Copies of this chain bind each other. A is one copy, B any other.
């Protein structure tokens, strides 16, 4: 099998010598170093919109997180995240003896490094009320220094969210089902309804980390709120997610934006043009999921036909996933492959009986309601 019988030069030794000569008693083992680059997550444009990968919920040592704000920036850069918001808790500073409890700092300390690295950093905070009503994230905020930390009454809760609202913030309800055993905690309670009716609530987290808050999806669909997904990272993203698997990323919001800018992100969030993404899973409004699927998945024309032993004429097609998303399909109508798994940047060969115009598949990994998957029609050519 191996034709070449040249003297094998050991890499290590060759390298060591080269480096040692140059460096006067100091050599560096560069080959052990983790290569530094910004990964590009591949998602094609959807109907002329850029699909920005955004994570608007994470923490640092300035509340109960375990990293300096610059780590959040670097993680985002490495992973190919377009925009983040550091949303430390207004009301919770467990390290207040060691770290100044100033919620403006995480943003201030990081903004110029973010600009240099071309990552969009949006100012935000987590308004952390007792449950119910629970936690709310505010994005595009102003000065956070006089936000409310008193959590003693419902009036204070209202005042707390109002602070953000008065600054014109985009506000979403975080992980509504996070405390299942507290009665009323995972319900559309009056407080939330009042926020909603006063246009002080704009979205809900449907995916938070590994949690899928199914009721939240229905609320978003029924009430026209924006579907959100976030990592809510406290520790390191890479220690939390099994990112060595090529289809696993932190949980994010895919934002369909006119361009890659803070202004366009805001416009898209307000227009509700988002899909929540938790690696293998997607959740969102039917229209956006449908468009996203069409942008990512392509069924080529028939490339081969044969007549099987039973006399059935069978056509073969190549179906390609041009994105870093992941889709599992189940056949609903037609005679073709019962199941198709579309891994990131890959294709499959499927076969279908001839004489059919189209096939109907359900995308088992994409939710348009808590009890309903995305259904896609695929034209056969």
Contact = CB atoms under 8 A, between A and B. Distances in A.
A66 B74 CA distance: 11
Chain A contact-residue range equals 35 or more
A177 interface: yes
Contact of A32 (B66, B242, B342): B242
Interface string A246-268: 00100000000000000000000
Interface stretch (A138-146, A158-166, A195-203, A211-219): A211-219
A178 interface: yes
Contact of A67 (B68, B115, B210, B241): B68
A280 interface: yes
Contacts of A10: 328, 330, 339, 341, 364
Contacts of A40: 320, 322, 345-347
Contacts of A4: 26, 28, 178, 209-211
Contact of A177 (B26, B236, B370): B26
A318 interface: yes
A210 B28 contact: yes
Number of copies of this chain that the complex holds? 4
A111 to B, nearest CB: 11
Contact of A12 (B7, B14, B280, B316): B280
A271 interface: no
Nearest to A99: B99
Interface stretch (A16-24, A47-55, A289-297): A16-24
Interface in A21-53: 22-40, 42
A194 to B, nearest CB: 22
Contact of A33 (B186, B242, B320, B364): B242
A324 B180 CA distance: 38
B117 A25 contact: no
Nearest to A40: B345
A210 B11 contact: no
A78 B238 CA distance: 12
Contacts of A347: 37-38, 40
A312 interface: no
A378 interface: no
Contacts of A102: 98
Given A1-B234, A25-B213, A33-B242, 5 more contacts: A33-B240, A34-B243, A38-B346, A67-B71, A118-B304
9 contacts: A9-B22, A11-B30, A25-B214, A28-B210, A32-B280, A40-B322, A42-B345, A67-B68, A118-B316
